[in-house]
Structure 1
Amino acid sequence: MTTSIIKNQNQTYDLGNSDLRLKDIIKTLPKECFKKNRFKAWTNVAIAVLMVALGYVSIAISPWFLLPFAWIFTGTALTGFFVIAHDCGHRSFANRRWVNDLVGHVLLLPLIYPFHSWRIKHNHHHKHTNKLDEDNAWHPIRPEVFETWGPFRKAVFEGFMRNRLWWLGSIGHWAVVHFDWRNFKTKDQSSIKFSVAVVVLFAVVAFPLLIATTGIWGFVKFWLLPWMVYHFWMSTFTIVHHTTFDVPFVAAHKWNEALAQLSGTIHCDYPRWIEFLCHDINVHVPHHLSTAIPSYNLRLAYKSIKENWQPYLHDESKFSWALMKEITDKCQLYVTDVGYITFDEYHAGR
């Protein structure tokens, strides 16, 4: 942050004790940002399907030494499937709910991701972004919570962060959270059961068929490894969107919705081919201001946000190994009202 007091739209806001409301920001965005465009939406679907198909062809014909490149490309293209389903989950893909639900379910099938489970949990993240103990995406662990864990769980988590295994994070989240309808409110459980049944049925049919025609290696080659690349990007996008040593997570009584969404969300640039295949999900600040903005309008919205609200924005970052090393090295535990500390600092203070 570059200043503690800014003036915008003929009003003055204090960054530390802000009267800023989310609707103040949304009102400054061009109306075009919120317009759904059927042609753009379905063009993105066509591009995603074409890129995934191209990826699978490349896996099928690549010699062994080119397979890693084919897996990376295909897994990244599959992430594009998820991003379009992400629009569907926020009802920003189509006007009709049944279209959003149908497209969302179909695109998440090869990822074995229950659509309604993800949609409901993800909307909770948007309602409580960077709220300590409430945000259910990639959230920090407080020392007092860490201390209640058993030795094995502590060792796993500490090793996970120290060894920079962030890229496995979304696999655990997928497996633990999204298949048990008891994790959801009673009113949502029928939808959850339906989505779980859809992906389980797909897996029961598709996986044995894939193994029968290509063998166990074919299952690993065509599904498992691209799927792991997809989870690499899921984990990476999620942690980078809201995590750096100077982005605070605050208690509920101090939480300001507008500041959490505007200042607690980080824009990160990735290589252009990744941004293309993933439909600009990295342009994440406008998405947190309003989930009604379709992915193809994120850049237009971000341009406006930078023009009107630049002093609120966190510095942009650029994806690199150095960035991920910094995040995993510095953002290990979180002390309320203080910020992130490392495991070494935690152990030294005991």
Structure 2
Amino acid sequence: MAGWVLSECGLRPLPRIYPKPRTGRDQLPLNPKLRFLRADRRNGSPSCLFSGIDKDRDWPLKVSAPFRVLQVDEEIGGRDRILNGGEEFFDPASPPPFKLSDIKNAIPKHCWVKDPWKSMSYVVRDVAVVFGLAAVAVYFNNWVVWPLYWFAQGTMFWALFVLGHDCGHGSFSNNPKLNSVVGHLLHSSILVPYHGWRISHRTHHQNHGHVENDESWHPLPEKTYRGLDIVTKILRFTLPFPLLAYPIYLWGRSPGKKGSHFDPSSALFVKNEKEAVITSTICWTAMAALLVGLSFLMGPVQLLKLYGVPYLSFVMWLDLVTYLHHHGHEDSLPWYRGKEWSYLRGGLTTLDRDYGWINNIHHDIGTHVIHHLFPQIPHYHLIEATKAANPVLGKYYREPKKSGPLPIHLLQVLLSSMRKDHYVSDTGDIVYYQTDPQLNSNKKSKLAHKFTPPLHSRILNSE
């Protein structure tokens, strides 16, 4: 079937200048500068959409984010460049031409093998480094060493979390008891309720990319977003506050959702999971009591330096990595709801990130797409599995930007996303993040007010 163009006058066929017939599933070549287009639900009149129309999908009614309106000369000239440029338009929201089984079959069989001895060797390595760093910090005990210690130890706490996270997925070993024991020891030591978090994280994986059902850093629907007070909005989208959200999330989840990772009666859990949640909460409480005892033994200031500040550093690592694996790509990525969502399509909107020297330290968790699709693959096989799957994934895999020794470049990505990715439409089965300009202006005014001296002070200074 020939391609069609959607205008204010209705559907009309494009000129017959394509080299071969097009179907609704095909993508027309598009000027890469135009990125991809979106329908405008806010005024009810979609702007010039010139991709192929799939009769089985009512795109203008199901894509919520607004199109960019093209100028007449840009539209005409752009269409010529589109047809002659040879580059095809890629719509990341389109159903992929492959199945989950196709990706699975492309991954070598040995990548699925879990070696408990190898997994335990990483635990021994990380625990040894944690105690070694603490010993070095106590030995030197000066303000040149402490900031370096805080960053390094917080990173190692994060590495311990990732190993406990593997226990929760069952990718640590095939022995559930071993996974549970190691997971409790690792996660409790950094104040994470192992089973409570494991279950909610499973929900995240099973519903990744779904607006309402996803669990971690999922979009706020517009109605929920508009219902937040201005202080909550500013805290949620102004650094460093979002990077300190994890402990709050453990106690109260995200806006619009209720429950606690410590409460066995929470909506997060089903009846047969209550005993496991109680066990994890007891382990967490025991660790908290141990920290209180240590504060009496060594003093609260020393405990803060040895454990408290590294814990905050770990929390920042966790929030940073989790957020950036689902946000902040240079091209807007879709979120789904209703019949448009599927496990595969949701997983394909996740992102790999390069963390430089940190890649090996935090067990290649930045290799995230394959991990999200197949969380049972051990972390030490993720890179090889990703390389094997790439020919199948094609453009649905977004190569991460290479990092220097430290992933400083990701801070700019995070800042940019926090300025733009505020909420999604309440309607539509395929939605994109939208920006609240008023929030950005409010943040600027709040900051300006904070750093502007009082009037009488400015008058005295001028005199």
Q: Tell me the TM-score normalized by structure 2.
A: 0.68
Q: Deviation at 1:278?
A: 0.8
Closer/same/farther in 2, CA of residues 312 and 14 from structure 1, 3 Å limit? closer
Deviation by residue 1:100-120 (Cα, 9 ceiling, x = unmatched): 000000111221111110111
SS at match of 2:424: strand
The answer to whether the Cα contact below 8 Å between 2:98 and 2:392 also exists between their aligned partners in 1 is no
Residue 304 of structure 2 corresponds to 220
How many residues are paired up?
333
Shift, 1:240, TM fit = 0.6
Counterparts in 2 of 1:14 and 1:265: CA distance versus 1, 3 Å: closer
Residue 160 of structure 1 is aligned with which of 223, 228, 236? 236
- Among 27, 47, 58, which residue is 2:136 paired with? 58
1:247, distance to aligned residue in structure 2 (A): 1.8
Aligned counterpart for 1:198 among listed residues 272, 278, 283: 283
Is 1:277 paired with 2:358?
no
The amino acid of 1:198's aligned partner reads C
Q: What's 2:227 paired with?
A: 148
Post-superposition CA distance 1:264-289 (Å, at most 9, x none): 111111121x2222111111111111
SS at match of 1:137: coil
Q: Which runs of 5+ in 1 are unaligned?
A: 6-12
Take 1:236 and 1:47, find their aligned partners in 2: how far apart are those partners? 24
- The amino acid across from 2:99 in the alignment is R
- Whether the 8 Å CA contact 1:164–1:325 is kept in 2: the answer is no
Please, which runs of 5 or more residues in structure 2 have no aligned partner? Answer: 1-25, 29-90, 253-259, 442-463
1:343 Cα offset (Å): 2.1
Contact 1:4 1:14 in 2 (8 A): no
Return the offset for 1:99: 0.4
Cα distance, 1:64 vs. partner?
1.4
Q: Which amino acid aligns with 2:102?
A: D
Cα separation, partners in 2 of 1:4 and 1:104, compared to 1, 3 Å: farther
Q: 1:200/1:275 Cα in 2 relative to 1: closer, same or farther (>3 Å)?
A: same
Task: Determine if the alignment matches structure 1 residue 251 to structure 2 residue 327.
Answer: no
Describe how 1:173-212 pairs up with structure 2 within 5 A: 173-176=249-252, 177-183=260-266, 184-204=269-289, 206-212=290-296
Structure scoring higher RCO (CA < 8 A, sep ≥ 6) equals: 1
Deviation at 1:66, TM superposition (A): 2.1
Compare CA radii of gyration and give the structure with the larger one.
Answer: 2
Q: Which of 270, 295, 301 is 2:379 aligned to? A: 295
State the Cα distance separating 1:307 from its structure 2 match. 3.4
2:191 counterpart residue number: 112
User: Deviations 1:216-242 (Å, cap 9, x if unpaired)?
Assistant: 102211111111111011101110111
User: Whole-Å Cα distance in 2 between the matches of residues 179 and 122 of structure 1?
Assistant: 14
1:308 corresponds to: 392
Matched, 1:332 2:410: no
Pairwise CA RMSD: 2.2
TM-fit CA distance, 1:21: 2.8
- Aligned counterpart for 2:108 among listed residues 30, 38, 43: 30
For residues 122 and 336 of structure 2, the distance between their equivalents in structure 1, rounded to whole angstroms, comes to 37
Residue pair 1:117, 1:195 contacting (<8 A) in 2 also: yes
1:168 and 1:299 map into 2 onto residues whose CA distance is 29
Distance 1:35 1:4, change over 3 A: farther
The 3-state SS of whatever aligns with 2:166 is helix
Return 19-28 or 297-306, whichever deviates more: 19-28
User: How has the CA–CA distance of structure 1 residues 347 and 199 changed in structure 2, closer, same or farther, with 3 Å as cutoff?
Assistant: closer
Q: Could you tell me which of 296, 311, 322 is aligned with 2:412? A: 322
Decide which of 319, 324, 346 is 1:235's aligned counterpart.
319
**2:428 is aligned with 1:342:** no
- SS across alignment from 1:27: helix
User: Do 1:125 and 1:137's aligned partners in 2 also have CA atoms closer than 8 Å?
Assistant: yes
Determine the structure 2 residue equivalent to 1:8: none
- Distance of aligned partners of 1:339 and 1:220 in 2 relative to their CA distance in 1, 3 Å threshold: same
Among residues 138, 149, 155, which one is paired with 1:76 in the alignment?
155
Bigger CA drift: 295-304 or 164-173? 164-173
- Contact 1:132–1:252 (8 Å) recurs in 2: no
Aligned-residue offset at 1:23:
2.1
Shift of the 159–28 alpha-carbon distance from structure 1 to 2, 3 Å rule, reads: same
Q: What amino acid is the match of 2:309?
A: L
Instruction: Report the alpha carbon displacement of residue 4 of structure 1 after superposing the two structures with TM.
Output: 4.6
Q: Give 1 or 2: higher helix fraction.
A: 1
Q: CA deviation at 1:24?
A: 2.3
Which residue of the partner structure matches residue 173 of structure 2? 94
> Please, what TM-score do these two structures have when normalized by structure 1?
0.89
Following superposition, the deviation at residue 244 of structure 1 comes to 2.3
What is the deviation of 1:330? 1.3
Q: 1:14 to 1:24 in 2, by over 3 A?
A: farther
Contact 1:167–1:235 (CA under 8 A) maintained in structure 2? yes
Secondary structure at 2:335's aligned position in 1?
coil
CA shift for structure 1 position 18: 3.8
**Residue deviations 1:39-93, cap 9 Å, x none?**
3212111111122112212331341122111011011111111111111101111
Measured after TM superposition, the shift of residue 254 of structure 1 is 0.8
